[in-house]
Amino acid sequence: MTCKSFAMVCRALILSMLMFSFQSATAGMIGTDQVAGVGSAQAERSHISSVLARADVTRQLHSYGVDVKTAQDRVAMLTDEEARSLAGNLQSVPAGADSGWWIAAAIIVVVLAWWYWGRR
């Protein structure tokens, strides 16, 4: 790179930094409850939606005369507290509970991969 082209690149970078750095952004302290609440409420809504998408749940809803799309719309309209409560209730009932075996399977896969790479 020649000195002239280097100077041209530097000028372009300085100009872009001057033009784009003056944004009206404000910073403030937020509590951990605000940060944790947003992610967990969305995660709980997605958990509820995944339970509603299961075939056995869909069949049961249809037998009660409830449309799955209507149920999904109702889940989207839940408040954060209602979503937390419903997700907690889904974990406590046997049909919606997560057994947790996937965690053990993931650990076994990681240990086997680590052992295999250690033998090489």
User: 45-68 b/e with 16+ CB inside 10 Å = b?
Assistant: bebbeebbeeeebeeeeeeeeeee
Residue with tokens 């970078």: 13
What pLDDT was estimated at residue 95?
55
Tell me the pTM.
0.45
Q: How many CB atoms lie within 10 A of CB 87?
A: 21
Q: Is 116 helix (H, G, I), strand (E, B) or coil?
A: helix
- The predicted pLDDT at position 91 comes to 66
Dig out the tokens for 49 from the structure. 């939606």
Show pLDDT as tens, one digit a residue, over the chain (120 residues). Answer: 677 788 888 888 787 777 665 555 566 777 776 666 556 778 888 888 888 888 888 888 888 888 888 888 888 888 888 888 888 777 666 554 556 666 777 788 888 888 777 776
What is the C-alpha to C-alpha distance for residues 2 and 6, in angstroms, rounded to an integer? 6
pLDDT for residue 71: 85
* CA pair distance 89, 104, nearest whole angstrom: 24
Report pLDDT for 90: 74
pLDDT score, position 26: 65
